[in-house]
Amino acid sequence: MAFGWLLFGERAALSTLAGLALCVAGGAALLAQSFHLRPAGAIGDLYGIATGVFFGLYFLAVKSARRTHSAARVTFVATVITAALLLIVALAFDHVILPHSLRGIGALVGMAWISHAGGQGLLSIALGRLPAAFSSLVIFLEAIAAAGLAFLLLGEPVSLVQGLGGLLILAGIYVARPTGATPGGGAAGRG
């Protein structure tokens, strides 16, 4: 939201800010039991912050591109550029970049179709129809999905505090949801 305001002058509605507060509180509750400040983990924390900054910029770039291009085109161009850059990085650090087993190929294909084509493709569609600030809050659902899948597939317990955190995230998304329809068929933000 901060980048949208700084770069494009987009203002977040009060409902969006309230939703953000609920989502952040919910995210903190989900992480509360595993959160530890350790000097040894500082570099990982910095990488996490950098990732968040770049992800926010990615949201804004896709939102901007969706004003004039289709979701398919935006996703395709982003895929080609990203693949070329990652190929250079991969070759610089390791000469073996292809999987050596069917399991490795399956993991690569799964990530390509589920995470990238599905996730990033649907994100491109959403950013063409919804405000970027609201879409960024919906990403908090990833934390709920991760906790749920960890419980179902790995048997990791979900504490009462974590469950309440998940409910806060859902409440935040509900509070921040856009209302009204735009002429393009999507939803418009409040305020």
- pLDDT, tens digit (0-9, with 9 covering 90-100), for 41-52: 678 778 878 888
pLDDT band of residue 54 (cuts 50, 70, 90) is: confident
8 pLDDT higher than 70 = no
189 pLDDT higher than 50 = no
Q: How far is the CA of 89 from the CAs of 79, 80, 83, in angstroms? A: 15, 14, 10
Q: In this predicted structure, what is the pLDDT of residue 180?
A: 64
- pLDDT (mean) for 138-150: 87
Tokens representing 110 are 């799964």
Sequence-separated (6 or more) residues with CB below 8 Å from residue 176:
13, 15, 16, 18, 19, 20, 23, 133, 134, 137
Tell me which residue of 173, 83, 55, 77 sits closest to 121, measured CA to CA.
77
Q: How far is the CA of 160 from the CAs of 20, 173, 178, in angstroms? A: 21, 20, 30
Tokens representing 34 are 């595993």
Answer whether 0.75 is exceeded by the pTM: no
Residue 144 burial (CB count, 10 A): 21
- pLDDT, tens digit (0-9, with 9 covering 90-100), for 150-171: 899 999 888 899 899 999 999 9
